[in-house]
Amino acid sequence: MTRRPLLFWVGSVLLAIFAGIAVLAPVLALHDPRQPLALPLSTPSRHHLLGTNDLGQDNLSRLIYGTRSSLIVAVSVTVLSTALSWIAGLAAGFVHRLESLLIGLVDLLLALPDLPLILLVLTLIGATQANVILVLGLLSWPAFARVVRAIVIGARVSPYVEASRALGGTSAHIIVHHLLPATLDAVPTKLVLTVRYAVFAEATLAFLGLSGGNTISWGEMLNQTFRDPLLFSRDVWPWLIFPPTVAITALILATVWVGSGLTTHRTTVRSGKFLP
């Protein structure tokens, strides 16, 4: 058993709380987040603990439902992106004919500035939550595909793969039983980095007005807030700005802390300090 840094546990607890809020959103939210229920831009009261926005919707309920879209985007993008980079990395490392094509594509995608490209594509196909997930997933696989390819190339010439081949192992058998497991070591880092990227990107896109018409998200709440030119002359402005800001920051920091906790664990295992 290894000791992990305190921040790792803080991050894990925070992530668990966020997940709980996302799952239990309909129970936790006292109001319908889409219904205008009270005076617009009213300061906190007993019925609306965080006040209301410019449409008279309850801020707290929107904050709770916003957790959902952040986590949905984060999880879906991570699954999609990890799967894609595995396939591309294994293909580039194993199939010679695909190698130069895939590496060229990876180089091009890594060189391009991602936000202008995402903005262009989302404006062309329309910004719905599904499209946001699709675009972020399809654009975030290259970096890890490179890592997978490097590991696969290293493992391909290793004695155990050679032995497996000599014993009559097919390519599919070698990929599934030897090459894929060799890449598992790098997966936790990839997962954490992609979750962070997805939360970051979803919030930024929503802040720029690309979250899809009916989606409630933290970035979208801030986008709506900043559309008001007289924002800072209203008493309610801290209640409009701080809750979503704190939520986004907390989710991202929790991911970072969990990630750095995992990597310290991995390096200590690698250096053999805690192994018998």
Give residues in contact with another protein (CB under 8 A): 104, 107-108, 111-117, 119-121, 123-128, 196, 200, 203-204, 207-210, 212-213, 222, 226, 232, 241, 245, 248-249, 252-253, 255-256, 260
Q: How far is CA 14 from CA 11, 134, 135, 250, 255, in A?
A: 5, 27, 27, 8, 9
Residue 49 contacts residue 60 (beta carbons within 8 Å): yes
Of residues 174 and 205, the one with the C-beta less far from another protein: 205
In whole angstroms, the minimum distance from the beta carbon of 271 to another protein comes to: 15
Q: Count Cβ atoms below 10 Å from residue 136 Cβ, excluding itself.
A: 26
Of residues 145 and 210, the one with the C-beta less far from another protein: 210
Of residues 39 and 112, the one with the C-beta less far from another protein: 112
| 78: alpha, beta or left? (left if phi > 0; alpha if psi -120 to 50) | alpha
In whole angstroms, the minimum distance from the beta carbon of 161 to another protein comes to: 32
Of residues 50 and 179, the one with the C-beta less far from another protein: 50
48: helix, coil or strand? coil
Closest by alpha carbon to 198, among 51, 75, 74, 66?
74
In whole angstroms, the minimum distance from the beta carbon of 253 to another protein comes to: 6
In whole angstroms, the minimum distance from the beta carbon of 202 to another protein comes to: 10
In whole angstroms, the minimum distance from the beta carbon of 245 to another protein comes to: 6
Of residues 27 and 111, the one with the C-beta less far from another protein: 111
Closest by alpha carbon to 76, among 32, 8, 22, 27?
22
